[in-house]
Structure 1
Amino acid sequence: MRINLLAMLIGILYGTAVAAQTFDYDDVASGRFRPAQLSGIRPMADGEHYTVIRKGNILKYSYAEAKAGEALLPAHDSDTTGLVAVDTLDRATGRRHTVGRQLHIADYAIAPNGALLIADGQRPIYRHSFTTRYLYYDGKHLQPVLADIEATRDAAFTPDGRKIVFSSRNDLYLHDLAQGTTRRITHDGAWNKVINGTTDWVYEEEFGFTQAYAVSPDSRYIAYLRFDESQVPLFEMMRYDGSLYNRAYEFKYPKAGDCNSTVTLHLYDIETERTVRIDTGSDTTQYIPRIGWTPRGELWYETRNRHQNEIVFRRLSVGTFGTPQAEQEVVYRETSPRYIAHETDRSFRWLDKGDRFLVMQESATGWMHLYTGRSGEALRPLTAGKWEVTQIVGNTAEQVYYLSTERSPLERNLYAVDLKGRNKRLLTPDKGFHTVAPGTGMKYYISTFSSAGDPGRVTICNAKGQTVRTVDDNAALRRMADSIRLPHKEFFTFTTERGDTLNGYWIRPADFDPAHRYPCLLTQYSGPGSQSVQNRWKVEWEDVMVQNGCVVVCTDGRGTGYRGEAFKKSTYGQLGRFEVEDQLSTARYMASQPWIDPQRIAIYGWSYGGFMALSCACRGDGLFKAAIAVAPVTSWRFYDTIYSELYNGLPQENPDGYGDNAPLALAPLLRDDRTRLLLIHGTADDNVHFQNSIEMIRALTDAGKEFDVMIYPDQNHSMLPDCTTAVRKRMIRFLSRNL
């Protein structure tokens, strides 16, 4: 961090305000402004303790008492350098010896008997998936497990802690810890053909999970999904990697309107080693995004039709193992004239061992709310109002804990309500954004809070919402931010020419002078159901632009979330129409402010935001002096089935919705004499393929337009593994030159 010492001395000598310190993106990237947080939180079964990952070990803490953490993994010779004692086998001599190793814990699990399964390091596959090396700790020895099998991933204990289920090279395996033996459950896994027990690319990206199996509570059965992706089109992504000859990385990627994997559900009996296929119906185009077990051991699963406007939860009792199909029942069904938003397991859970359930739903009232249900009966609402429940945090036999936007759509607060919808209580009164990690049984929970002007704190609270102790109050960060007069978000609303009211914020320089005219940067994402305008602490590259004398502005236009179903789903079938109108309205609104220079307005976005930045640059008729689009979608026909079809329908049924608003079609409209465009993409982007930018370059070139391009070799959608900082520094330089 750089300090203007001369200005400071002058300020001290003459009694004037001390000039603010300055910072650059290196300070932001280093984490200097990042609030405290706990990493890898796991609630322990006793409800009194939790664990976190810290310094290459797993530490156990008491919720109630401020004690030092207890390291669960053995230190190497009482070493204080963070090395962990690992028992290894010398294959040459056959002898075991202990070595000190610095662990890189990517994930871990705790068995009922306290044994630990550690994922040490990770070799990324896609956004969530990775292969790893596993270590097993029985309380005495920490040693490699599954070491003789390549590319292990997605490992988990069976509920009794006696076995480990895992995947390798598209097949599912079972390892017996007592016997030291490994059993192969499936035998037909093959790259780009069949996947057992883990998800294909599009499920991983859009449904957000990779472990596609679930073990029954009695540890006898394993339910798993099988993906037949043989009919999914093959996509090739070029890799360079500094080699003399480039190579193509091939994987199955279903683009909008094309074939998905055929997904089937199977049940494996660990005792008899027999597998049966569960009858999930005749629709081979449907999705199966969730499988699991009720507390009393009934298998359940969710299906979602290709149009994603109907979801069904079915439950079956294992009963006679060979005939589970005969005992299925529909537990829950929801339909929508447009689509049903993707929800995770945070939106559903079983009550009373499976007799009832909790579910979040927006179809009934147009607002996402909480209901209890029972098979064959109408849902009973627990919450109501023109606000939304955003997450089921936890429950007891008497009440449910949830996060909602009741106080403001920009905030999240924790509430409790009983299971009859009465006695609702606000447990987090602070105005801002709360995330909550529940303890087992909800006796305690960990609350992480911040607001736009306050880095907040991490506290442990009891079920009544009372603070038991403060883990970190971010006092040092707060003092540092105050000392440099770090600018903060100021929230506003404005009404567009069409009568829509949008939420927004702006960040103005610390020495803001209303008589001065400032350049303005619009930053946005704008994707369906998203939210960028939030009352929470965040310091990013845009704040460097503020320090450099720019006003940064963000608004959430139509299609974004947490303002009701009508607002969110208004963009259905015409992605890029209303959202672009709203960002253009934002630019015009800012141009009307007396402290904004209307000739120096820019827009930026990444991914969906890149799609928006390109579209706004082309449709803005010179309104923007500069535009930056990073990893943009340039046609939704290039993007995956689940996401594109959820929000835009199938291209075979909605060709205009895919064609009219695509940046590729808008390229001739770019006023390159007034708008300087920078297009940025990584060549190894498995999500929004480099193809998008290649075709945009073609369209702009064919239209005779001038623009700038920056290509990052072998970087993915997040510009990993090497270039996240470089990209942001380049954007800062580009805007500094062109605004």
Structure 2
Amino acid sequence: MRPKSGKTLCLGLIVCIVGVLAIVLPLALLPPVETAQDDDKPTFTLANYLEGTYFPQSFSMSWISDDEYIFRNSSGAIYRKKLPLLDENLFIPSMVNATINFVSPSKGYTLLQTSRKKGWRHSYTADYQVFDIINQEIIDAFLPQTIQYIAWSSKDALAYVLKNNIYLKHTVNGTAVPITTSGEENLIFNGIPDWLYEEEIFSSNVAMWWSPDGGHLAFAQFNETGVECIEYSWYGEEQYPKTISIPYPKSGTNLPKVTLFVVNVSNPDTHQKIEPPDNLADKDHYLSAVTWVNETRLCVQWMPRHQNVSYLAFCDFNSNIWKCPKYGPSKPYFGPNNTEYYRVLPNEQGYNHVHRIKSPEDSQLLTNGSWEVMAIVFVTANNLYYISNQNQTFPGTSHLYKYYISNQNQTIPGTSHLYKIFDYTKNPKISCVTCNLKIKRCQYYNAYFSLKGTYFKLLCSGPGVPMETLHHANSELEILEDNKELEKKLDELQMPIVKYHSLRMHGFDLWYQLILPPNLNKNDKHPLLLEVYGGPGSRKVSYEFKMDWATYLASTERVIVARFDGRGTAYRGNKLMHAIYRRLGTFEVEDQISVAREFSKWNYVDEDRIAIWGWSYGGYLTSMVLGAGSGVFKCGIAVAPVSSWMYYDAAYTERYMGLPTPDDNKEAYESSTVMSRAANFSTVQYLLVHGTADDNVHFQQSAHISKSLVEKGVEFSAMWYTDKDHGLSDLAHNHLYIHLSHFLEQCFDLPPNP
């Protein structure tokens, strides 16, 4: 259960502070978002949302060298652009229908992908052909069908995974050589992760890594022996449903056994095993990161089952043996000399900052303050680039910054800017790359660097209409996408007004976002919908631009939509984030009730028409809030909710709850179920939604809620989506939001949506 925008909880000392609700504090430093609205303009309708009429365009590009990128034009052809002169030439014609992410390092070949079939969140299978870019023709590379993963080496060799085994092709038209033969469906995975590692550890479909010179291939093997499977029915079109079985370790059950190997591609029959640290070897553990430092040094990160500490091993290739003598903290970014690395770690006050580490005993804090570094994005010989919310006083920003910090004590939790550190041997000097570029439009950035970091693309995601630009040092080279047409179209709509404020609760300034109907009359009463997620290390309140269901509700139905980040959420320091460690379903539930109760006191909020809704962890939070019996909420919607942490995967659950054993945290597991609160649902209207083929939060979770509500005689509404997974995509998406809208119409007594 990984939020789109969030981070992993860094476990440590737990601090619990109980306080009282205080007054609303306006944020003075934010760009103005309130504008006059014309009542004669049309509103943003449900049909507009479902049809994507007002969604921003994006610019899809891929770096193929330090000064070249490729992109697809409107006709489908792929062009190559050379920097800094922006010279452009045809790279791959449109009739080839190539994917821009599969160009070989030599730029002589590209892979053509067809018959792509979705697996889990990141994984898929596909068929591939090799296209010769120089001769502009497809060549016969004898690649099999239904490949699970494929990757180029720096020398244009290919490694791919088929039926859980790895194969090597030294040249594109050479014979495939098997690297492994042990692969077996649902039992042994080579070079690709199993479900648990794909979802919770690697967040990708990749478990093999080429060395920079293409001479070695590291790969992970996952053995599912002893791991129990989740099974669910796939109804399809046949007379009898199929049974889908996936190895899925739930909390307290057996984990997959992971092994890391390195293969010399000139002698692929010999596999050298990389051992975990001695104190983990005989215990349950995870392989959490693999990074090639150079051609003969591999950096490997391991974690124990509780994930409360990490071990970093530097493995050197000496005399045909890989030796891993050093252990330290977690995933690094290496400098050009490969003798030191950079890592985001908590400072003494519990805020995440950049550290330079030469050894476990030699660590230097490069950034500091009561704000957080969210991620290091690139390291060059002279500069280290990172994303941070240090610029203002609101933690929901996430921009690419380009300016010198004059006051690092001010923090905007919703911001995210790109910063640059240089002159490491002296006092670090920090400049913001993006802070002053487009202040009103852009306060939420990300950056994508060329292969050596000379150029970078900036993606501005809000609060204004998103745009993408290309940069070199301090200069903007090119506007890649400005969404001017969308800006013009939005000027013709009655758009909601978005505001940000904070509440003082339990010793913290906790931030919320209000999406208000246009031309709000504060003498009128409006229904309010609280949109929640609330999982550990997540964030809902930010400057990201959205044209979503909430936009429709505020614009057309005149519903106030609120988002709130309570205890347990990210980018405000570990004291706030760790508040719900080992106690999921407690403080984050209390905080949502408290903020809704505060909203209910406002003159323009109808205290009798307050609702809550969420998806995944948000569905769990919604259900726990409604089950608390607070009397604040009239109705709520839970989509694909967790109902008991005993039913969710081990890696996520144990990271935040520990083990469900009497000597660890069994009592917290038992007290945090939705089912234990079933009787209190009799006072609210409840809509429960789930896909029957959800491989992440299993249908079992909602089935148990349904069972408990029936046993308590509670009436509720439910909607099951046959053969749909956790995302409820395609036709189910539109059906879902129409259904949710009708539910709110009934709950809030709104006029029917035409």
Q: TM-score, normalised by structure 1?
A: 0.88
Partner of 2:622: 613
Larger RCO: 1 or 2 (CA < 8 Å, sep 6+): 2
- For the 8 Å contact 1:134–1:145, the answer to whether it is kept is no
SS of equivalent to 1:379: strand
Structure 2 residue 470 is the aligned partner of structure 1 residue 460: yes
Partner of 2:583: 574
Distance 1:656 1:116, change over 3 A: same
SS of equivalent to 1:260: coil
SS of equivalent to 1:495: strand
- For the 8 Å contact 1:668–1:700, the answer to whether it is kept is yes
CA distance in 2, matches of 1:164, 1:353: 29
Partner of 1:19: 40
CA distance in 2, matches of 1:169, 1:146: 19
SS of equivalent to 2:206: coil
Using the TM superposition, give the Cα deviation of residue 57 of structure 1 relative to its aligned residue in structure 2, in angstroms.
4.3
- For the 8 Å contact 1:135–1:142, the answer to whether it is kept is no
Q: Aligned letter for 1:640?
A: D
- For the 8 Å contact 2:585–2:621, the answer to whether it is kept is yes
- For the 8 Å contact 1:667–1:703, the answer to whether it is kept is yes
SS of equivalent to 1:258: coil
- For the 8 Å contact 1:296–1:354, the answer to whether it is kept is no
CA distance in 1, matches of 2:655, 2:73: 39
Using the TM superposition, give the Cα deviation of residue 358 of structure 1 relative to its aligned residue in structure 2, in angstroms.
1.1
- For the 8 Å contact 2:140–2:173, the answer to whether it is kept is no
Partner of 2:63: 43
Partner of 1:522: 530
CA distance in 2, matches of 1:695, 1:394: 46
Q: Deviations over 1:18-67 (max 9, x none)?
A: 5121332332233333223222x32222x222123555443323454456
Q: Out of 328, 331, 344, which is 1:332 matched to? A: 328
SS of equivalent to 1:384: coil
Q: Deviations over 1:323-370 (max 9, x none)?
A: 32xx32224236xxxxxxxxxxxx631113421111111264411111
CA distance in 2, matches of 1:243, 1:623: 47
- Alpha-carbon RMSD across the aligned residues, in angstroms, is 2.0
Q: Out of 649, 652, 669, which is 1:658 matched to? A: 669
Partner of 2:271: 275
Distance 1:542 1:571, change over 3 A: same
Q: Out of 524, 541, 556, which is 1:533 matched to? A: 541
Q: Aligned letter for 1:427?
A: V
Q: Aligned letter for 2:336?
A: D
Q: Greater CA deviation, 248-257 or 311-320? A: 311-320
Q: Out of 362, 378, 381, which is 2:365 matched to? A: 381
SS of equivalent to 1:72: strand
CA distance in 1, matches of 2:507, 2:535: 21
Structure 2 residue 244 is the aligned partner of structure 1 residue 234: no
- For the 8 Å contact 1:331–1:374, the answer to whether it is kept is no
CA distance in 2, matches of 1:127, 1:249: 16
Q: Deviations over 1:159-178 (max 9, x none)?
A: 211x1001011111112325
CA distance in 2, matches of 1:422, 1:255: 45
Instruction: Give the gaps of 5 or more residues in structure 2.
Output: 1-36, 392-411, 749-754
Q: Out of 713, 717, 721, which is 1:708 matched to? A: 717
CA distance in 1, matches of 2:490, 2:128: 41
Q: Aligned letter for 1:50?
A: Y
SS of equivalent to 2:294: coil
Q: Aligned letter for 2:519?
A: D
Structure 2 residue 652 is the aligned partner of structure 1 residue 638: no
Partner of 1:317: 316
Matches within 5 A, 1:432-447: 432-447=443-458
Matches within 5 A, 1:457-496: 457-464=467-474, 466-496=475-505
Distance 1:179 1:479, change over 3 A: closer
Instruction: Give the gaps of 5 or more residues in structure 1.
Output: 1-15, 76-81, 85-101, 335-346
Partner of 2:415: 411
Partner of 2:512: 504
Q: Aligned letter for 1:738?
A: C
Distance 1:70 1:615, change over 3 A: farther
CA distance in 1, matches of 2:536, 2:55: 27
Q: Aligned letter for 1:350?
A: F
CA distance in 1, matches of 2:260, 2:618: 36
SS of equivalent to 2:429: coil
Q: Out of 78, 82, 85, which is 1:58 matched to? A: 78
Q: Deviations over 1:483-510 (max 9, x none)?
A: 21211321111234x4543100111111
Using the TM superposition, give the Cα deviation of residue 300 of structure 1 relative to its aligned residue in structure 2, in angstroms.
2.0
SS of equivalent to 1:609: helix
CA distance in 1, matches of 2:144, 2:315: 34
CA distance in 1, matches of 2:340, 2:690: 48
Partner of 1:112: 106
CA distance in 2, matches of 1:479, 1:186: 56
Using the TM superposition, give the Cα deviation of residue 179 of structure 1 relative to its aligned residue in structure 2, in angstroms.
4.9
- For the 8 Å contact 1:171–1:189, the answer to whether it is kept is yes
CA distance in 2, matches of 1:217, 1:699: 55
- For the 8 Å contact 2:329–2:360, the answer to whether it is kept is no
Distance 1:70 1:664, change over 3 A: farther
CA distance in 2, matches of 1:658, 1:502: 27
Using the TM superposition, give the Cα deviation of residue 552 of structure 1 relative to its aligned residue in structure 2, in angstroms.
0.5
SS of equivalent to 1:271: coil
Distance 1:500 1:460, change over 3 A: same
Distance 1:147 1:54, change over 3 A: farther
CA distance in 2, matches of 1:119, 1:362: 42
Using the TM superposition, give the Cα deviation of residue 479 of structure 1 relative to its aligned residue in structure 2, in angstroms.
2.1
- For the 8 Å contact 2:165–2:189, the answer to whether it is kept is yes
CA distance in 1, matches of 2:238, 2:73: 37
Distance 1:272 1:442, change over 3 A: closer
Structure 2 residue 198 is the aligned partner of structure 1 residue 194: no
SS of equivalent to 1:451: coil
Using the TM superposition, give the Cα deviation of residue 655 of structure 1 relative to its aligned residue in structure 2, in angstroms.
0.9
- For the 8 Å contact 1:350–1:357, the answer to whether it is kept is yes
CA distance in 2, matches of 1:351, 1:714: 47
Distance 1:107 1:716, change over 3 A: farther
CA distance in 2, matches of 1:523, 1:171: 44
Partner of 1:682: 691
Matches within 5 A, 1:203-282: 203-207=197-201, 208-273=203-268, 274-280=270-276, 281=278, 282=281
CA distance in 2, matches of 1:201, 1:144: 34
CA distance in 2, matches of 1:220, 1:548: 61
SS of equivalent to 1:152: coil
CA distance in 1, matches of 2:294, 2:317: 13
SS of equivalent to 1:83: helix
SS of equivalent to 1:468: strand
Q: Deviations over 1:661-713 (max 9, x none)?
A: 2112111222x2x4110000000100000000001100111111110000000
Structure 2 residue 95 is the aligned partner of structure 1 residue 83: yes
Q: Out of 602, 613, 627, which is 2:611 matched to? A: 602
Q: Out of 717, 734, 739, which is 2:743 matched to? A: 734
Structure 2 residue 124 is the aligned partner of structure 1 residue 130: yes
SS of equivalent to 1:318: strand
Partner of 2:163: 169
Q: Aligned letter for 1:289?
A: S
- For the 8 Å contact 1:238–1:249, the answer to whether it is kept is yes
Identity among equivalent pairs (%): 28
Q: Greater CA deviation, 56-65 or 358-367? A: 56-65
Partner of 1:3: none
Q: Aligned letter for 1:278?
A: I
Alignment: residue pair count: 675
